């Protein structure tokens, strides 16, 4: 996270040195800064910035894809005359621990297919979700844990 | 070429917003109505903002569009979560399906 801020700082430095303040200059500066940080990886304690950056990009791509498919699913249920939904309220056991990770997971769950996060249990062990299409509860739980939680952990953990 | 991209983003975004509003009227219970308003509403506003950014192609407009998208992505799930939590605490009955403790 600190390295990401440093990367943005490097991009601003690039803009200052060039005297141009457009979005293309920012992008170029960001890419140059990214490779500069990659070059200094061997000197850091935990050389994982490249891998984490890649994991964050993958998380973003999966998130956008899921947001699109979930919207299409909901729209389809809205415009067809029959109600297809089969709702259930499910407790998903959590592996993530910190506030930031739980916040990220709850927000992403809310915006992905057929699930809406309702609550986190007092002891932070369970996320209570409302699933819209749940024929089988275990498969809903597995889907969230496999695709979303694992990817979040890849980004936030070392 | 760019005009076509902008126009299609706008039209799809408006359609998503329209269907999310329709979903609030049509869906059978409050939980599912929230699905409609959160997901379809978010992508509707997001696409409209992408169209605005592409059309004006100006740093100040683009940065504002990115800001709007970021805040929608952050706040829509929070609002839905608070509504859902209050429904859950008041033992709101779902129209079908079942509930774990």
Question: Which tens digits make up the pLDDT trace of A87-107?
Answer: 788 888 888 878 888 888 888
Binned at pLDDT 50, 70 and 90, residue B7 comes out as very high
- Residue B1's pLDDT is 83
Among A63, A89, A122, most B C-beta atoms within 10 A, so best to mutate, is: A89
Tens-place pLDDT, residues B79-101: 888 888 888 888 777 766 666 55
- Least Cα distance to A105 among A59, A48, A61, A73 occurs for A59
Binned at pLDDT 50, 70 and 90, residue B4 comes out as very high
Binned at pLDDT 50, 70 and 90, residue A111 comes out as confident
Give the predicted TM-score (pTM) of the model. 0.75
- Using the Cβ of A61 and the Cβ atoms of chain B, whether some distance falls under 8 Å is answered with no
- Using the Cβ of A29 and the Cβ atoms of chain B, whether some distance falls under 8 Å is answered with no
Tens-place pLDDT, residues A43-63: 877 777 888 888 888 888 888
> Would you say residue B70 has pLDDT above 60?
yes
CB pairs below 8 Å between A and B: how many? 112
CB A131 within 8 A of CB A140: yes
Q: What distance, in Å, lies between the first and last C-alpha atoms of chain A? A: 11
Instruction: Tally the residues of chain A.
Output: 158
The residues spanned by each domain of chain A are 2-43, 49-156
- Residue A1's pLDDT is 67
Which residues from chain B sit within 8 angstroms of residue A127, using beta carbons?
none
In whole numbers, what is the pLDDT of chain A averaged over residues? 83
User: Helix, strand, coil proportions of chain B in percent (round to 5)?
Assistant: 80, 0, 15
- Residue B48's pLDDT is 92
The secondary structure element, H or E, covering residue A62 is helix A49-79
Binned at pLDDT 50, 70 and 90, residue A42 comes out as confident
Which residues from chain B sit within 8 angstroms of residue A132, using beta carbons?
31-32, 35
- Residue B101's pLDDT is 53
Interstrand relation of B98-99 and A88-93 (parallel, antiparallel or unpaired):
parallel
> Would you say residue B8 has pLDDT above 90?
yes
For residues A64-93, average pLDDT: 80
- Using the Cβ of A102 and the Cβ atoms of chain B, whether some distance falls under 8 Å is answered with no
User: Helix, strand, coil proportions of chain A in percent (round to 5)?
Assistant: 65, 15, 25
Neighbours of A110 (CB within 10 A): 27
- Residue B51's pLDDT is 92
Q: CA B29, CA B97: separation in Å to the nearest integer?
A: 12
For residues A15-42, average pLDDT: 86
Lowest-confidence region among A23-32, B20-29, B60-69: B20-29
Using CA atoms, how far residue B15 sits from A42, A46, A114, A131, B5, in Å, is: 50, 47, 20, 24, 15
């Amino acid at each position: 996270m600190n390295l990401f801020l440093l990367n943005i700082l490097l991009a601003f430095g690039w803009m200052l040195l060039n005297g141009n303040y457009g979005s293309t200059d920012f992008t170029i500066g960001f890419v140059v800064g990214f490779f500069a940080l990659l070059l200094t990886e061997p000197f850091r304690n935990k050389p994982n910035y490249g891998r984490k950056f890649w994991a964050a990009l993958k998380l973003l791509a999966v998130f956008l894809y899921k947001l699109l498919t979930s919207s299409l699913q909901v729209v389809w249920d809205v415009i067809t005359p029959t109600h297809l939904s089969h709702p259930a309220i499910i407790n998903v056991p959590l592996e993530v621990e910190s506030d930031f990770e739980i916040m990220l997971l709850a927000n992403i769950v809310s915006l992905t297919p057929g699930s809406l996060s309702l609550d986190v249990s007092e002891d932070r062990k369970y996320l209570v979700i409302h699933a819209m299409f749940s024929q089988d509860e275990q498969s809903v739980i597995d889907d969230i844990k496999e695709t979303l939680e694992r990817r979040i952990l890849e980004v936030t953990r070392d | 070429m760019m005009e076509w991209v902008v126009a299609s983003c706008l039209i799809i975004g408006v359609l998503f917003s329209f269907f999310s509003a329709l979903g609030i009227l049509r869906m059978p219970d409050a939980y599912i109505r929230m699905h409609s308003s959160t997901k379809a509403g978010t992508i509707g506003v997001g696409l409209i903002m992408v169209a605005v950014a592409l059309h004006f192609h100006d740093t100040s407009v683009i940065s504002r569009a990115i800001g709007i998208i970021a805040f929608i992505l952050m706040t829509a799930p929070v609002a839905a979560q608070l509504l859902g939590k209050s429904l859950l605490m008041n033992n709101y009955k779902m129209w079908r399906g079942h509930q774990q403790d």
